[in-house]
Amino acid sequence: MSWILALPIAIPFLTAVLAYLLRERPAGRWVSVGGSAVLLLAAVVLMRAVLEEGVVAGQMGGWPAPFGITLVADRLSAVMVVITAITGLAVSIYALGEITKRVAYLGYHALFQVLIAGVTGAFLTGDLFNLYVWFEVMLIASFGLLILGGTRAQLDGGIKYVTLNLVSTVLFLSGIGLLYGLTGTLNLADLSIAVAQVENQGLLTVVAMMFMFAFGVKAAVFPLFFWLPASYHTPSFAVSAVFAGLLTKVGVYALIRMFTLVFDHDIAFTHTILLWVAGFTMVTGVLGAAAQSDFRKILSFHIVSQIGYMILGLALMTPMALLGAVFYLVHHIIVKANLFLIAGVAHRIAGGTELARIGGLYKTAPLLAFLFLIPAFSLAGFPPLSGFWAKFLLVKAALEVQGWIIAGVALAVGLLTIYSMTKIWAQAFWEPHPGGHDPRLSDMSGFERRALLIPIGALAAMTIVIGFFPEPFVQFATAAAADLLEPSAYIAAVLGGAPS
Amino acid sequence: METLIAIAIGILTAAAVYLMLARNVLRFIFGLLLLSNAANLLIFTAGRLTQGAPPLIPKGADIPPEGVANALPQALVLTAIVIGFGLFAFALVLIFRAYTGLGTLDSDDMRVAEPKEQGR
């Protein structure tokens, strides 16, 4: 049974090796696309197994839990792996049209696949130290991708990204050490039982705060997000899209996992902090975006703002709120990655991402304008797109527990999001190009056009499908949220014993 | 023994934080190195310090004899040291490249990717 758990990690690693060996040949970039497609297949197989059998767990190396390393997929993990595979495939197709020969020679495709392996590993592991290892795999690959090409802006953004993420890593490691000292185990399911027996509950809360800080940096929550808008607009667009879609969401996933499965001993304290963090993250992110005038910088600040919504779902800790958080995660990854990809096309044909220097895209490239409107409106929460349902569920969850203020904040931030999206729309699409240049999609070669636009169209179609047929997705998210709130099936699957 | 190591970890952490508060990114990265070593010591200490025998299983037996040291924290620390070393090497090269590319080690002057602060 364990092979379907190991495949989503092994496939990208094998692809990475192949892509590195073939990096000088034109076939190298197709290896990346092929590997991503196989990964998607493996992810779907895993998802089917989870839907049919509930939580799937496997012990690597044959050591029984809690001694060996456990890989485990519940509904949340499975859906995250599927969405990672979808984003990976979309971005690797996009990379065919964007990544130059030189950057490919420097190892872009190999690093990209290693990054995907790190992300799926983090989603599938059931062991805390193993989670740390996957974070590092992901981190070192992202360091490489971020500075590949070595422009001055990339080096500058890279320094901030690398240093702040390393601080969070060390804190994560210290937290692991202290938690191990308190409980004597690092298996997540085992920890879930062991933390209840710790005498010194105060110390446990301190450790919980260390984890909140460490994952908070990765998830880019207020006040720990500064590395994100400093670096995400510097690398190539394919890289920023996959960063924007996946990396911060691994932090959010880790927060959700740890603060539902392990640290649920003092919800009144920890989750109140999370609630404040959520509110401030939403507001600072959206205000930061309002002050920016660059396509990608606006989008970067919006990542921060949107992370706040997901943390809000975790902080409220009701079935409705967690359902909203899971739904939001899935919707956000698709929409955000897509917006960065569109920024890349705008950059390609209009000659920049600085809003004051581009324009006229609506008139001469209406297809791109249409493709932009779908994720942009979805991000802002226009019905009937996916973002509307995501926001609707979270606001409803907040109102259910009489959280009038936080519900008001969430709605107001939605309005301000529309403001930023209108700003991009008006300056990049509506106004004429300041250089008098007519940006056309036909400026690109036919191959490039297809490589860049097909993934954008596919992701936009997914946004529409989720928006018009939210029912199965909501049902799935409801079950995922129930798993999170009642982790007995997860624990039973990992530690053995009859599933309850 | 635990107390002594705890004090050592505290001193390391304090020195690390002092260095990391500097604007010079090279000092920052040295502070980070100290901090990651403090974290390694922390894991090692959290696994309980015992004067046990090496955790070796004698031939023919299935379990180690009584009184052996806990092998898990050692394995964790070893992994963490290797990973930390790799990341540190990368960070050092990145800082060197940034120094040659940007001409400064002062983080306040690294303003290529972000707007300059007012009044500077």
pLDDT per residue as tens digits for the range A430-440: 888 777 777 77
**Res. B53: pLDDT tops 80:** no
pLDDT higher for A85 or A355? A85
With a pLDDT cut of 70, the percent of chain A lying above it is: 99
pLDDT, tens only, A237-275 = 999 999 998 999 999 999 999 999 888 888 888 888 999
The answer, for A160 touching chain B at a CB cutoff of 8 Å, is: yes
Question: What 3-state class would DSSP assign to A57?
Answer: strand
**CA-to-CA distance for A180 and A175, rounded, in angstroms?**
8
B119 pLDDT tier (thresholds 50, 70, 90): low
Per-residue pLDDT averaged across B45-50, rounded? 81
A499 pLDDT tier (thresholds 50, 70, 90): very low
| Inter-helix orientation angle B71-102/A128-147, to 10° | 10
Query: What pLDDT is attached to residue B118?
Result: 60
Q: Among B80, B101, B111, select the one facing A173 at the smallest CB separation.
A: B80
- Chain B residues with CB under 8 Å of A156 CB are 98, 102, 110-114
**CA-to-CA distance for A303 and A379, rounded, in angstroms?**
10
Query: What pLDDT is attached to residue A359?
Result: 79
Q: Which of A377, A369, A386, A259 is nearest to A322 (CA)?
A: A259
- Asked if B36 lies within 8 A of A234 by C-beta distance, the reply is no
The answer, for A489 touching chain B at a CB cutoff of 8 Å, is: no
Distance of CA A19 to the CA centre of its chain: 24
B117 pLDDT tier (thresholds 50, 70, 90): low
Q: Which amino acid is at A32?
A: S
| Other beta carbons within 10 Å of A105 | 11
Smallest CA–CA distance, residue A150 to chain B, in Å, is 9
Q: Could you give the domains of chain B?
A: 2-51+68-109 (1.10.287.3510)
pLDDT, tens only, A303-345 = 999 999 999 999 988 889 999 999 999 999 999 999 999 999 8
Per-residue pLDDT averaged across A61-71, rounded? 78
A222 pLDDT tier (thresholds 50, 70, 90): confident
Q: Which amino acid is at A440?
A: R
**Res. A445: pLDDT tops 90:** no
Smallest CA–CA distance, residue A39 to chain B, in Å, is 26
Smallest CA–CA distance, residue B53 to chain A, in Å, is 20
Smallest CA–CA distance, residue A152 to chain B, in Å, is 6
**Res. A97: pLDDT tops 50:** yes
The answer, for A292 touching chain B at a CB cutoff of 8 Å, is: no
Tell me the pLDDT of chain A averaged across its residues: 88
**CA-to-CA distance for B16 and A126, rounded, in angstroms?**
32
- Chain B residues with CB under 8 Å of A178 CB are 42, 46
Per-residue pLDDT averaged across B51-71, rounded? 76
- Asked if B28 lies within 8 A of A163 by C-beta distance, the reply is yes
Query: What pLDDT is attached to residue A253?
Result: 94
**Range picked from A1-10, A67-76, A454-463 for highest mean pLDDT:** A454-463
Q: Among B32, B45, B76, select the one facing A166 at the smallest CB separation.
A: B32
The answer, for A129 touching chain B at a CB cutoff of 8 Å, is: yes
Q: Which long-range contacts (CB under 8 A, 24 or more apart) does B81-84 make?
A: B81/B40, B83/A133, B83/A136, B84/B33, B84/B36, B84/B37, B84/B40
The answer, for B111 touching chain A at a CB cutoff of 8 Å, is: yes
Bond preceding residue B64 cis, omega within 30 of 0: no
Tell me the pLDDT of chain B averaged across its residues: 84
**CA-to-CA distance for A277 and A271, rounded, in angstroms?**
9
Domain ranges of chain A: 267-486
- Chain A residues with CB under 8 Å of B80 CB are 132, 173
The answer, for B12 touching chain A at a CB cutoff of 8 Å, is: no
Per-residue pLDDT averaged across A457-481, rounded? 90
C-beta separation of A375 from A390 below 8 A: no
**Res. B116: pLDDT tops 80:** no
Structure tokens belonging to residue A395: 């606001």
Show Cβ contacts of residue A436 under 8 Å, excluding neighbours closer than 6 positions. Answer: none
**Res. B68: pLDDT tops 90:** no
With a pLDDT cut of 90, the percent of chain A lying above it is: 36
Which of A138, A162, A198 has the highest number of chain B CBs within 10 A, making it the mutation to test binding with B? A162
**Res. A498: pLDDT tops 50:** no
Provide the ipTM.
0.90
- Chain B residues with CB under 8 Å of A296 CB are none
**Res. B12: pLDDT tops 60:** yes
Alpha carbon dihedral B116, B118, B119, B120, in 10-degree steps, equals -10
- Chain A residues with CB under 8 Å of B76 CB are 129, 176-177, 180
- Asked if B20 lies within 8 A of A167 by C-beta distance, the reply is yes
**Res. A497: pLDDT tops 70:** no
C-beta separation of A452 from A346 below 8 A: no
- Chain A residues with CB under 8 Å of B49 CB are none
Query: What pLDDT is attached to residue A424?
Result: 87
Query: What pLDDT is attached to residue A500?
Result: 36
- Asked if A155 lies within 8 A of B76 by C-beta distance, the reply is no
Q: Among B28, B38, B98, select the one facing A155 at the smallest CB separation.
A: B98
Per-residue pLDDT averaged across A88-94, rounded? 92
Per-residue pLDDT averaged across B53-72, rounded? 77
C-beta separation of A349 from A439 below 8 A: yes
- Asked if A150 lies within 8 A of B101 by C-beta distance, the reply is yes
- Asked if B39 lies within 8 A of A153 by C-beta distance, the reply is no
Query: What pLDDT is attached to residue A1?
Result: 56
Smallest CA–CA distance, residue A419 to chain B, in Å, is 22
